[in-house]
C-alpha cells in the first residue's frame, strides 16, 4: 500500500514538474480581446447637471509584454484600448448621448500560483490613460461638448491561465479600473502570450 501511494505521489510530481521547469522565467509577449463595462457617475468635464446616465460597454483590446522573474512573480506592461462605449443620459430639462474613448499604458505586477498546468494569478498596477468624452445635448440643438484629459488611476485584477505546447499561455482575466468619474468600471479579457 505504501509503495502504491509513493508511486502515485511520484507520478503527480512528474506531471506537475514540467509546468515549473519548461519556462520558469524569461520574457513573453501577447495580446488580448475583451469587453469593457463603463460605469459613468457624472459629466463634470463638460459641466452638465445630469440626472441619470445609462451605463454602456464596448469591445476592448490590448497588447502586452512582460518578464517572468520566476514561476511566481512577473512584471508586465500593456497598451490598453477600451473602445468607444456610449449611450443616453437625461439632465434637467434636457437629454442627449455620450461616448467615451480611452487608451493608455498599464504597468502591473503579477503574482502567480502554479497548480500543475493551471496558474492562478492576481495583478495590481496603474493605468496611465487619455480619455476623450463627447456629449451631444438635445436642448442645445444637438451641440457637441467635448472634453479630453490625461490621468493615472489604480487597477487590479485576477484570473487563471493554462500553458500549451510549453510556450503558449492562454488566460482569462477580470480587471477593475478606478477611473475618475468612471470608478468601478471593469473589463473581462481573453489573452494569449508566447513565453520564450
Return the CATH number at 157.
Answer: 2.40.160.20
Q: Which residue do the cell numbers 495590481 mark?
A: 124
CA distances from 1 to 5, 6, 7, 9 (A): 6, 9, 10, 12
With beta carbons less than 8 A apart as the criterion, state whether 67 and 92 touch.
no
C-alpha cell at 187: 473589463
CA distance 8 to 10: 5
Contact 33, 61 (CB under 8 A): yes
Work out the average pLDDT over 173-195.
93
Task: Please tell me the predicted confidence (pLDDT) of residue 104.
Answer: 97
Q: How many domains does the chain have?
A: 1
pLDDT tens-place string over residues 20-77: 446 789 999 999 999 999 988 766 655 555 556 778 899 999 999 999 999 999 999 9
Query: Is the distance from CB of 146 to CB of 140 less than 8 angstroms?
Result: no
Domain region containing 187: 2-195
β pairing state of 50-53 and 118-137: unpaired
Model confidence pLDDT, tens digit, residues 127-173: 999 999 888 877 655 556 788 889 999 999 999 999 999 999 999 99
Do the Cβ atoms of 87 and 56 come closer than 8 Å?
A: yes
Buried-exposed string 134-143: b where 16+ CB fall within 10 A, e elsewhere: bbbbeeeeee
Structure confidence by residue, pLDDT tens digits, 63-91: 999 999 999 999 999 999 999 998 887 77
Amino acid at each position: 500500500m505504501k509503495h502504491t501511494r509513493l508511486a502515485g505521489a511520484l507520478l503527480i510530481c512528474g506531471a506537475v514538474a514540467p509546468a515549473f521547469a519548461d519556462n520558469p522565467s524569461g520574457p513573453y509577449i501577447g495580446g488580448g480581446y475583451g469587453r469593457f463595462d463603463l460605469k459613468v457617475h457624472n459629466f463634470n468635464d463638460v459641466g452638465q447637471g445630469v440626472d441619470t446616465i445609462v451605463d454602456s460597454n464596448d469591445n476592448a483590446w490590448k497588447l502586452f509584454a512582460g518578464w517572468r522573474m520566476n514561476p511566481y512573480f512577473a512584471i508586465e506592461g500593456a497598451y490598453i484600448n477600451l473602445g468607444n462605449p456610449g449611450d443616453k443620459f437625461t439632465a434637467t430639462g434636457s437629454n442627449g448621448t455620450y461616448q467615451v474613448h480611452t487608451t493608455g499604458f498599464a504597468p502591473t505586477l503579477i503574482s502567480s500560483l502554479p497548480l500543475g498546468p493551471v496558474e492562478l494569478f492576481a495583478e495590481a498596477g496603474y493605468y496611465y490613460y487619455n480619455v476623450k468624452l463627447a456629449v451631444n445635448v438635445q436642448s442645445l440643438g444637438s451641440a457637441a461638448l467635448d472634453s479630453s484629459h490625461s490621468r493615472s488611476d489604480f487597477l487590479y485584477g485576477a484570473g487563471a491561465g493554462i500553458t500549451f505546447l510549453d510556450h503558449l499561455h492562454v488566460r482569462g482575466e477580470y480587471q477593475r479600473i478606478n477611473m475618475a468619474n468612471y470608478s468601478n468600471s471593469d473589463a473581462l479579457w481573453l489573452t494569449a502570450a508566447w513565453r520564450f
